[in-house]
């Protein structure tokens, strides 16, 4: 079977939530089908990483997204009903890149990662080829949530994007042979947007072997929060935790240390470390696993979240207990919740962290081990994907015969 995979960001290296899912999807498909990847890239560094994928035998074609021209176009198109998501992901070379990817090769089916790539699958020459849409989570719902917690003019822009994108999501789901999301909550939200769509849950997984530690549990009082800190929910969570929760923890555990691990920390995030010696901001790291293995507790204090937070699964796989918020817990598989503590307010969050810090390293590891991750390997989570693509292609052949 021949599959064209469309992604809005190069799925390498798998160092953030969307890249992780796309990377493991690509690996799962490549083991059973002839797969070609067409990916948008956003800077020269990302474009350069495509060569590493080609060295691994993956057929990759890329198209550059010009950030500043797209921002200007987005401002000009605000009075229209076009989703800004599509404007900001516009790649002028995408059609040429697609022609290169399809030269001498025609896919049986297209797999589309996120609603931002769906327009490419819905227009010539791909519009005659069946596609499966991996929505991952509900982007329009994310913008709606942003609108509720923002001030004008961003509030108006976010609300506009929620409306415009929801209309497009409904159309894309009607055109897709099937639509995928990562949780039952997301499935229900999409079904409310388009009740006739075939929406399936294909959850996120975890590379259990890669994250398993081979050394004793960390003896210190280090907390770790992993994420891309230019991403609004992560930045907002880190600032809330540092300003509202962290002083309460330090007052009772002055030996505690907080490490914010991840790419693109904003100036506000960097200022946290500049003003507090108990906070470290790493920026981009080659591998998050050593930071997890050195942590006593992982925190995921997000105040807004969609889908499954991979950072929670990774910490639990590293045998580190997690303290998180109700909105994150609501998207987690039920089997992992016993490894987590949940709190909604600063005092409660601090209490849950301190309770874990007061345990021995062995007790903390045992607390994390209460999470059952056995069914969350990527091969298990993605097992239904290839049959879905097979069925999509077969329906087209039936219609043509």
Q: What is the pLDDT of residues 170-212, one digit of tens each?
A: 999 999 999 999 999 999 999 999 999 999 999 999 999 999 9
% of the chain surpassing 70 pLDDT = 99
CATH fold, domain 2-205+378-400, is: Rossmann fold (3.40.50)
Residue 345: its pLDDT value, please?
97
| pLDDT confidence of residue 396 | 54
Q: What is the pLDDT of residues 311-341, one digit of tens each?
A: 999 999 999 999 999 999 999 999 999 999 9
Mean pLDDT over residues 275-283, rounded?
95
Residue 401 has pLDDT above 70, yes or no: no
Q: CATH 3.40.50.2000 spans which residues of the chain?
A: 2-205+378-400, 208-368
CATH topology of domain 208-368: Rossmann fold (3.40.50)
Whether 398 has a pLDDT exceeding 50, the answer reads: no
Confidence category of residue 257, pLDDT binned at 50, 70, 90: very high
Whether the pLDDT of residue 397 is over 70: the answer is no
What is the pLDDT averaged over residues 231-253? 97
Q: Is 16 a residue whose pLDDT tops 90?
A: no
Mean pLDDT of 40-57: 95
What pLDDT is stored for residue 306 in this prediction?
83
Range 63-83 average pLDDT: 96
Give the chain as a 3 state SS string. Answer: CEEEEEECCCCCCCCCHHHHHHHHHHHHHHCCCEEEEEEEECCHHHHHHHHHHHHCCCEEEEEECCHHHHHHHHHHCCCCCCCHHHHHCCCCCHHHHHHHHHCCCCCCEEEEECHHHHHHHCCCCHHHCCEEEEEECCHHHHHHHHHHCCCCCHHHHHHHHHHHHHHHHHHHHHHCCEEEECCHHHHHHHHHHCCCCCEEECCCCECHHHHCCCCCCCCCCEEEEECCCCCHHHHHHHHHHHHHHHHHHHHHCCCCEEEEECCCCCHHHHHHHHHCCCEEEEECCCCCHHHHHCCCEEEECCCCCCCCCHHHHHHHHCCCCEEECHHHHCCCCHHHHHHEEECCCHHHHHHHHHHHHCCCHHHHHHHHCCCCCCCCEHHHHCCCHHHHHHHHHHHHHHHHC
């Amino acid at each position: 079977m021949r599959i064209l995979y469309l992604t809005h960001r190069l799925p390498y290296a798998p160092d953030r939530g969307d890249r992780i899912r796309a990377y493991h999807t690509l690996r799962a498909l490549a083991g059973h089908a002839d797969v070609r990847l067409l990916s948008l890239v956003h800077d020269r560094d990302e474009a350069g990483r495509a060569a590493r994928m080609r060295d691994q035998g993956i057929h990759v074609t890329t198209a550059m997204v010009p950030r500043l021209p797209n921002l200007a176009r987005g401002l000009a198109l605000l009075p229209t009903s076009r989703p800004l998501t599509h404007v900001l992901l516009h790649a002028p070379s995408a059609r040429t890149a697609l022609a290169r990817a399809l030269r001498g090769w025609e896919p049986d089916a297209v797999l589309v990662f996120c609603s931002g790539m769906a327009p490419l699958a819905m227009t010539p020459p791909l519009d005659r080829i069946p596609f499966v849409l991996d929505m991952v989570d509900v982007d329009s719902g994310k913008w709606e949530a942003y609108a509720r917690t923002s001030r004008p003019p961003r509030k108006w822009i976010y609300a506009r994007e929620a409306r415009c994108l929801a209309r497009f999501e409904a159309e894309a789901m009607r055109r897709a042979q099937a639509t995928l999301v990562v949780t039952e909550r997301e499935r229900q939200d999409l079904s409310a947007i388009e009740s006739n769509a075939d929406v399936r849950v294909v959850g996120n997984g975890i590379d259990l072997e890669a994250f398993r530690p081979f050394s004793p549990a960390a003896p210190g009082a280090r907390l770790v929060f992993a994420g891309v800190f230019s991403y609004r929910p992560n930045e907002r969570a880190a600032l809330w935790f540092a300003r509202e929760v962290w002083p309460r923890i330090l007052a009772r555990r002055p030996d505690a240390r907080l490490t914010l691990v991840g790419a693109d920390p904003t100036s506000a995030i960097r200022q946290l470390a500049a003003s507090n010696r108990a906070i470290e901001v790493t920026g981009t790291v080659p591998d998050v696993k050593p930071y997890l293995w050195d942590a006593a507790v992982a925190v995921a204090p997000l105040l807004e979240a969609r889908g499954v937070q991979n950072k929670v699964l990774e910490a639990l796989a590293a045998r580190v207990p997690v303290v998180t918020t109700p909105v994150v817990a609501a998207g987690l598989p039920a089997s992992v919740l016993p490894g987590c503590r949940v709190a909604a307010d600063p005092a409660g969050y601090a209490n849950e962290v301190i309770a874990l810090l007061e345990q021995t390293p062995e007790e903390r590891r045992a607390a994390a081990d209460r999470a059952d991750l056995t069914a969350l390997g990527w091969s298990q989570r993605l097992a239904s994907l290839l049959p879905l693509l097979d069925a999509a292609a077969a329906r087209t052949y039936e219609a043509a015969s």
